[in-house]
């Protein structure tokens, strides 16, 4: 038996009729771009998050760039984030024209160490981007306090945190503007690319709406320089079909995480910690062990496929050398990158498959 780190195929089997009907509905509607499906999904997802406005965009990377642009952030500005994230958090800052500045992570949660923020704030700092990585929110209250004290914007990167909560509020509802991705592997995934900017601020909403459509409010007339960054009707229709299941997806992910927690508790693996302040959506179930590379290759020999999210911290990549960081600058980030790996977790993973992953892991851990 082969266990994949992620697959949508069983989900598709279960939802096939609904999904094909939704897609057929779009094709038959006569409206393929910026129609009723995008509008309804924007409203529904914003409502789910407890936020006023949602603007559907083409992916989670451009969502960040557009949101930064809407905040007036660009050339000459600094944006603080983490190096333990997917490349797009950082590439989007660079695309917006600003310079990324990194703080280290809290090793217990792998999320932004908010205690280090004050030390890197300069007169050029304009914004903090906490990444709610792996499905769990960064510690927002102290972060928002630092932002307020220093007059900085906060943009939550919620690409991995659909359904996650911080002190009873949904991720994305905690800051000036938030962005998310509906890349297929995400907790709420499209069957292609997709993203959204959400905000309570009408000015930001209108600006992002223009920016995703060539800077135009009406067809063929640009008020300002913009992009083409639209969510399309087909993906919106699929996402609308899946949105009512989002809470179930999160519940099943939490159930699988609880099973792994019990099964792996007495091993040398460091299992994920759910911070007391919130609700983890377990986009990823990330474990840690100093012999990570041996374990991962042995799992693969046993047809169990895991991921490493992420093997290289952004500040050590050639593409971001010019920022001037060196190995050793973010010790917790770097040491986590050497030791963490992500076990299979997705709603259609069965209890038996979870048990098999755990049994094989136990076996490997006894022998190394
Ligand atoms: C933390 C994080 N931010 C941003 C993105 C960018 O999303 P997308 O792939 O939709 O551009 C992703 C997903 O890849 C992500 O995981």
If asked whether residues 178 and 314 sit together in one domain, one would say no
Q: Is the per-residue pLDDT at 49 higher than 90?
A: yes
Angle of helix 202-211 versus helix 60-70 axis, rounded to 10: 120
Ligand 1 centroid – CA 189 distance (Å): 11
Whether 160 lines ligand 1, by a CB cut-off of 6 Å, is: yes
DSSP labels, 131-200: B-GGG----HHHHHHHHHHTT-EEEEE-TT-TT-EETTEETTSSSSEEEEE--TTSSS--SS--EEEEES
Residues 251 and 185 in one domain: no
How does 48-65 read in b/e, with b if 16+ C-beta sit within 10 Å?
bbebebbbbbbbbbbbbb
What pLDDT is attached to residue 1? 81
Average pLDDT over the chain, rounded to whole? Answer: 98
| Residue indicated by tokens 């927690």 | 261
**What is the rounded average pLDDT of the residues 127-133?**
98
Residues 138 and 278 in one domain: no
Regarding whether 289 and 179 lie in a shared domain, the answer is: no
Q: What gap in Å lies between CA 63 and CA 196, rounded to an integer?
A: 6
Question: pLDDT digits over 24-36, tens only?
Answer: 999 999 999 999 9
Whichever domain contains 155, its CATH number is 3.40.640.10
| Total number of domains constituting the chain | 2
In this prediction, residue 243 has a pLDDT band, given cuts at 50, 70 and 90, of very high
Q: What is the pLDDT at residue 287?
A: 98
Q: What is the pLDDT of residues 302-324, one digit of tens each?
A: 999 999 999 999 999 999 999 99
Q: Find out whether 136 and 164 touch, Cβ atoms under 8 Å.
A: yes
Residue 39: the pLDDT is 98
Q: Give the Å distance between the CA of 159 and the centre of ligand 1.
A: 5
Does 134 sit in the ligand 1 pocket, CB within 6 Å?
no
Residues 234 and 253 in one domain: no
Residue 131 lies in a domain: yes
Q: Do 237 and 270 lie in a common domain?
A: no
């Amino acid at each position: 038996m082969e266990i994949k780190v992620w697959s949508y195929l069983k989900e598709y089997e279960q939802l096939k009729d609904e999904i094909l009907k939704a897609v057929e509905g779009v094709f038959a509607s006569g409206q393929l771009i910026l129609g009723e499906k995008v509008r309804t999904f924007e409203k529904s997802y914003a409502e789910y998050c407890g936020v006023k406005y949602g603007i559907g965009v083409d992916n989670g990377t451009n969502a960040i760039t557009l949101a930064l642009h809407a905040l007036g952030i660009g050339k000459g500005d600094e944006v603080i984030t983490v190096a333990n994230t997917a490349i797009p958090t950082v590439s989007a800052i660079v695309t917006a024209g600003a310079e990324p500045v990194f703080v280290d992570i809290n090793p217990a949660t792998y999320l932004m160490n908010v205690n280090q923020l004050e030390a890197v704030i300069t007169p050029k700092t304009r914004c903090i981007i906490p990444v709610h990585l792996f499905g769990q929110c960064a510690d927002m209250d102290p972060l928002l306090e630092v932002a307020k004290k220093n007059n900085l914007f906060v943009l939550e990167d919620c690409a991995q945190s659909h359904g996650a909560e911080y002190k009873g509020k949904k991720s994305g509802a905690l800051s000036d503007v938030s962005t998310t991705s509906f890349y297929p592997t995400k907790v709420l995934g499209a069957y292609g690319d997709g993203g959204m900017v959400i905000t309570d601020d009408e000015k930001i909403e209108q600006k992002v709406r223009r920016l995703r459509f060539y800077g135009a409010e009406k067809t063929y007339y640009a008020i300002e320089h913009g992009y083409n960054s639209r969510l399309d009707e087909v993906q919106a229709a699929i996402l609308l079909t899946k949105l009512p299941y989002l809470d179930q997806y999160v519940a099943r992910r939490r159930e699988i995480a609880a099973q792994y927690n019990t099964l792996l508790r007495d091993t040398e693996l460091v299992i994920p910690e759910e911070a007391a302040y919130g609700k983890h959506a377990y986009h990823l179930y990330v474990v840690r062990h100093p012999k990570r590379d041996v374990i991962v290759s042995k799992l693969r020999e046993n047809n169990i496929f895991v991921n490493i999210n992420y093997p290289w911290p952004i500040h050590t990549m050639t593409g971001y050398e010019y920022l001037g960081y060196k190995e050793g600058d973010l010790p917790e980030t770097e040491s986590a990158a050497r030791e963490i790996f992500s076990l299979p977790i997705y709603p259609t993973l069965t209890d038996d498959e979870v048990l098999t992953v755990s049994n094989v892991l136990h076996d490997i851990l006894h022998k190394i």
